[in-house]
Chains A and B, each alone.
Chain A
């Protein structure tokens, strides 16, 4: 069969397929049941056959290209797959996330150790030698921090008097943008052979240690710790987990084991993505607590108890959540 005849015979099929594709591409995947699609798969199979024929018979490259692109478009519609989201989110929170964290506990331990050790080191240094704080923080930011956590005149932890609801919303936005951005960047930084993730952990640890020790030195520790204790649980944990997930990526490149580096990286990314979904959820939670609970003025006993409950519940969840049953990550 010559090319012209071939085109004449099959062009109607191609055109009808193009029409169907246009409709499919315009519509969201969960609503495509509304389209009459019984013809689509048959047409697509025929098209695949015709592409093979066109190649075999050496029809013009332009025609081959056209058929190839049509197959590609149909292929991308036929193999679309978006399972319902709601079930997966519930399952993920109940099982998938804590399981994913425990599966990668080694990297999370490395990340946590580098964070905790840098806190401890800088904390001890600054408590011994108060001037050491200036090696980590400059004078302006220190003054800001001292202002923020100045003890009230009655010595209580009343630090955010006069702060209204709209300030809370602003700070919520700030925590979302800043903290979640940092966590995502930490994860990506891990790809650079783990160096990026470790650096973020060391820096954040040093800042935290320096600020805590400095505020103890100047007597602002009560307002500071009553402020950070509750949201610190999800926030610090999430940063450590992001670092651990990043290290997992970096390690896949340094020591890919039985895989090629490319495949090891793919597996690592797939393996650590659930952790990042969880990190995102934890940081959302942290931003809520930090914006709407932490600045509220309560007795230190109340704040410490709530804080302790946050830490306790979170780690019970991460250590024991989803021990039974097999959740998918």
Chain B
């Protein structure tokens, strides 16, 4: 079995949709944020109704119950599979066929949270996410749900005005993707590293010339000849 953080599903429209699965770390952080929010809500409620004696105590106990069991379910079911913590971390729960999480699904995965938290600090759930090929904790397996990344960074292609050269070798699809990926990520590399990488394509040229040539070819791929 291929170990990958990607899950490919086919939509009814016949498109292959790629879900990128969220691992234990962002999920734990989302959980921490939610815990904090719940604490704050609880503190506010306790402050507001604390003056009402035993009736107030009753309200506090009921709100504790609701916060513990229904905070995640209500948010996941009503807010596109995202609790505030998950939204902050850019992750969301969906069914493993990519459809939005149903109320029942959300209830199952949250009722079974106790089993995932067993014996302490979500140990069982943590092991389960590591073992599962889809990063699912036990509750996710029962509810047939997965947690995915949903952040959406807009693309910005900046055309520049230098020359574009056709590649001087028969280009296959993998080459093309590699060149385009190089173009997108080059801002992350230092100049010498870019030259070093460019020399893999043109070992016979000098480093700076190789880089220039490679950029021209990439531009040709993006925009065509000038």
Contact = CB atoms under 8 A, between A and B. Distances in A.
A191 B61 contact: no
A48 B138 CA distance: 33
B143 A269 contact: yes
B112 A191 contact: yes
Given A61-B181, A166-B54, A170-B54, A196 B115 contact: yes
B142 A61 contact: no
Contacts of A220: none
| B15, B17, B184 pick with most chain A CB within 10 angstroms | B15
B142 A82 contact: no
Interface in B49-76: 53-55, 57-62, 64-65, 68-69
A32 interface: no
Contacts of A76: 80-81, 92, 94, 98-100
Contacts of A62: 155, 180, 184
Contacts of B99: 75-76, 79, 81
B159 A176 contact: no
A184 B13 contact: no
Contacts of B62: 172-173, 176-177
Interface string A126-170: 000000000000000000000000000000000000001011011
Contacts of A79: 98-100
Interface string A169-193: 1111110110011001101110110
B223 interface: yes
Contacts of A238: none
A52 B127 CA distance: 36
A254 interface: no
A188 B152 contact: no
Given A262-B141, A266-B141, A176 B11 contact: no
B224 interface: yes
A318 interface: no
A195 to B, nearest CB: 10
A298 interface: no
A60 B181 CA distance: 6
Interface in A2-52: 2-5, 7, 25, 28, 44-45, 48-49, 51-52
Interface stretch (B32-40, B103-111, B194-202, B203-211): B103-111
B154 A51 contact: no
A217 interface: no
A45 to B, nearest CB: 6
A181 B68 contact: yes
Contacts of B154: 66
B27 interface: no
B61 A184 contact: no
Report the contact-size class of chain A (Cβ under 8 Å from the partner).
35 or more
A84 to B, nearest CB: 12
Given A69-B150, A71-B11, A188-B111, A167 B17 contact: no
A262 B143 CA distance: 10
Contacts of A61: 177, 180-181, 184
A288 to B, nearest CB: 13
Q: Is the interface of B mostly helix, strand, loop or mixed?
A: helix
A43 B5 CA distance: 29
B153 interface: yes
B115 A72 contact: no
Contacts of B17: 68, 71-72, 75
A3 B179 CA distance: 13
| A49, A169, A273 pick with most chain B CB within 10 angstroms | A169
Contacts of A49: 15
A269 B111 CA distance: 10
A169 B98 contact: no
B108 A273 contact: yes
B114 A48 contact: no
Interface of B: 11, 13-19, 53-55, 57-62, 64-65, 68-69, 78, 80-81, 92, 94, 98-100, 102-104, 107-108, 111-115, 118, 138, 141-144, 148, 150-155, 157, 159, 173, 176-177, 180-181, 183-184, 221-224
Interface of A: 2-5, 7, 25, 28, 44-45, 48-49, 51-52, 55, 58-63, 66, 68-73, 75-77, 79-82, 164, 166-167, 169-174, 176-177, 180-181, 184-185, 187-189, 191-192, 196, 249, 262, 265-266, 268-270, 273, 276
10 contacts: A4-B157, A48-B14, A52-B15, A66-B153, A79-B98, A166-B55, A170-B54, A181-B69, A184-B111, A188-B112
The 6 A-B residue pairs whose C-beta atoms are closest, nearest first, are: A173-B61, A173-B58, A60-B180, A188-B114, A269-B142, A169-B58
